[in-house]
Amino acid sequence: MLLPEIDTPMDEFLRYVVQQLVEHPDEVVITHRQDGAKTVYFLSMRQSDVGRLIGKGGGTIKAIRDLLSAAAEKQGLKAGLEILE
């Protein structure tokens, strides 16, 4: 079950990072689901922005996932990230 957008510090952090990288930041939707002890975040956006977020060879999305994981660990949490197409 996906949870609606809420403004937790992790949501705000992820929203800030993603919105800086896409052409249509107002169309980014972030939802999340608890998967045991891990929170999995799901990003939905305009199709033309997906490639910008993934980056060449997946480098950009890997960096975003690393940032999210590091921020979550700092708070004693675990987090993952998926893009919904």
Using one digit for the tens of pLDDT, what is the confidence trace for 7-16? 678 888 899 9
Q: Indicate the domain borders of the chain.
A: 24-84
In the chain, the amino acid numbered 79 is A
Asked if 60 and 20 count as a contact pair (C-beta separation under 8 A), the reply is no
- Supply 14's token pair: 């992820």
CA geometry: angle 47, 52, 29, nearest 5 deg: 55
> So what's the pLDDT on residue 12?
87
| CATH fold label, 24-84 | GMP Synthetase; Chain A, domain 3 (3.30.300)
pTM of the prediction?
A: 0.84
> So what's the pLDDT on residue 85?
78
Q: What is the pLDDT of residues 24-41, one digit of tens each?
A: 999 999 988 988 889 999
> So what's the pLDDT on residue 6?
56
- Whether 75 shows a pLDDT value over 90: the answer reads no
Average pLDDT over residues 30-57: 92
> So what's the pLDDT on residue 10?
84
